[in-house]
A = this chain, B = another copy of it.
Amino acid sequence: MLSKKTKYGLKALTFLAKVEGKEPVQIAEIAKHENISQKFLESILLTLRRNGFLGSKKGKGGGYYLIKEPKDIPMTTVMRVLEGPIAMVPCVSLNFYEKCDDCPDEGECSVHKLMLQVRDSALEVYRNNTLADLL
């Protein structure tokens, strides 16, 4: 299940991408427009900024803004920052690999075999979509 954090984060990015020009947009405005708890959104935007997706400006007329072109923001990186691993089990994760406690042999594991395919198919989708494709 997709977390609200990711869902809200994606919506916020989309909203910012649609804004004319590059003027900062206030948290409150995004929250209101997308029906999101303002405080919750605040923490999400913060992690997006810390991870290089957004810039921010304080004081009057401040807010958040994209620091890259939407077409240069692939969904793989967005998903990994907001949702975490794209794989459904750590033993098939490219960026968050971990061995299973049970499971003596990954090569023999049916779950491993299936989840590898699921990971690859999801990756293909995320790689083929940038923020620009969602507008």
Contact = CB atoms under 8 A, between A and B. Distances in A.
Contacts of A118: 122, 125-126
Given A110-B10, A110-B11, A110-B14, A34 B102 contact: yes
A71 to B, nearest CB: 14
Q: How many copies does the complex hold?
A: 2
Interface residues of A, number: 32
A109 B134 CA distance: 8
A84 to B, nearest CB: 8
A110 B75 CA distance: 12
Interface in A115-135: 115, 117-118, 121-122, 124-126, 129, 134-135
Nearest to A15: B110
Contacts of A14: 110
A132 to B, nearest CB: 11
Contacts of A134: 110, 113-114
B115 A129 contact: no
Nearest to A120: B125
Contacts of A2: 88-89, 111, 115
11 contacts: A2-B115, A7-B89, A10-B110, A11-B109, A11-B110, A75-B114, A110-B134, A110-B135, A114-B129, A114-B134, A122-B122
